[in-house]
Copies of this chain bind each other. A is one copy, B any other.
Amino acid sequence: MKKDPSRRKLLSMGAGLAALTACTAEKQEAPSQVGKALSPYGERSSRETAKRLVPADSKTPSTGGSRTPLQESYGTITPSSLHFERHHSGVPDLDPATHELLIHGLVEQPLVYSLADLKRFPATTRVHFVECSGNGTSEYTAALGPTAQVSHGLASCSEWTGVPVKLLLAEAKLKPEAKWVIAEGGDACKLARSIPLAKLMDDAMIVYAQNGEAIRPEQGYPMRLLLPGFEGNTNVKWIRRLHATAEPAQTTHETAYYTDLMPDGKARQFSFDLEGKSVITHPSGGQKLTGGAGAFEITGLAWSGRGKITRVEVSSDGGKTWKDAELNQPIHSKAFVRFRMPWNWDGGAVTLQSRATDDSGYTQVSQDELAAARGRNYRYHNNGIKVWYIQPDGSVTHAAQV
């Protein structure tokens, strides 16, 4: 180790960005003792505290949702341990050696597949987000979500591996009158949704792996239906059967839930698509900019169930002007995209917001514009622009005043 350099930090980050204040942190010495041993299955540092937000004091802890800490996310992959959850009757303990997928109904050849059978089919691996259609419900209220975890944390993104559903349906030989498929899960409530056949013949998969290992129990172990870009509950977990039919089944989860109440009192059913969306994850609600004015990175996530994100713009003046953020490459379709923008905070009160555009040409609009188009009875599919307020003390909130 050479002698110490000047302790003064110069973090200019290019012309026009402010220097950081001086730092007096003590120099750290490397440890002189050997460290921990090799291990068969590693864990994160005990110093790390990022966690899913689980409802406190729930009397039904097996149902409900837990939210991904997007404000502590990096890149585009969500760690499987932090992937959001939404269960209707808890996480079943299914045995991959005996669990089976049944394909029946309007087919020439009913079939039953074990997990081992599915692994003999040609597989595919793709990065896709999954999002609960209830993600953003907070933004319909006056309270608004105070953190990115509360407002947007029912969305996560993984590398999924599995079998295209169209290969399985080809084996079963659909009858011409088959137009829908009822997908039913192996949880106690047997959550079931009616899926248009066209989606299953497009990019649907039965996935058995997530982020390089067996899919996690909370995500459907040993297998789930993945419908890229479709609202989360249709991506039926613990999938146990695909039942081909001529008409949708009108299950509880497409009548009592997951419909959209319109201003005229009628409800939209089968509003599967998740539209373009974005959220700034740093700086975001609950965080605090430390060290005073100077250079920071604005970063966040954008995604669309319709295809690829083509543009994310950021405004720091209440939406009057917008500037293109950099999109981390490569951009996957129907997947989280990480956006970034260098930013020089002047130390004053400021609003920050982002809006995403996807390759269908859709661009996010404000909450007010969303309400004007849909009315105020919606509970699902909130993809309006999220605004954060930076206070002069560096704290970040979801409201203009704290």
Contact = CB atoms under 8 A, between A and B. Distances in A.
Interface of A: 1-2, 5-7, 9-13, 20, 23, 25-28, 30-45, 47-48, 50-55, 58, 61-66, 72-83, 85, 87, 89-96, 98-100, 102, 104-105, 109-114, 116-117, 119-125, 159-161, 167, 171, 185-188, 190, 208-209, 211-214, 216-218, 221-222, 238, 240-241, 243, 290, 294-297, 299, 326, 328, 330, 332, 338, 340, 342
Given A41-B52, A188-B35, A240-B30, A75 B119 contact: no
Given A36-B217, A38-B58, 11 more contacts: A9-B113, A13-B122, A23-B112, A26-B98, A30-B185, A34-B62, A38-B65, A41-B52, A77-B77, A119-B297, A123-B340
8 contacts: A10-B109, A11-B113, A30-B92, A36-B90, A37-B62, A38-B58, A44-B80, A45-B217
Contacts of A95: 47
A82 B25 contact: no
Contacts of A26: 98
Given A30-B186, A81-B42, A212-B79, A171 B10 contact: yes
Given A35-B62, A92-B31, A217-B45, A125 B297 contact: no
A38 B13 contact: no
Interface residues of A: mostly helix, strand, loop or mixed? loop
A28 to B, nearest CB: 5
Given A5-B104, A9-B112, A296-B120, A79 B80 contact: yes
B34 A41 contact: no
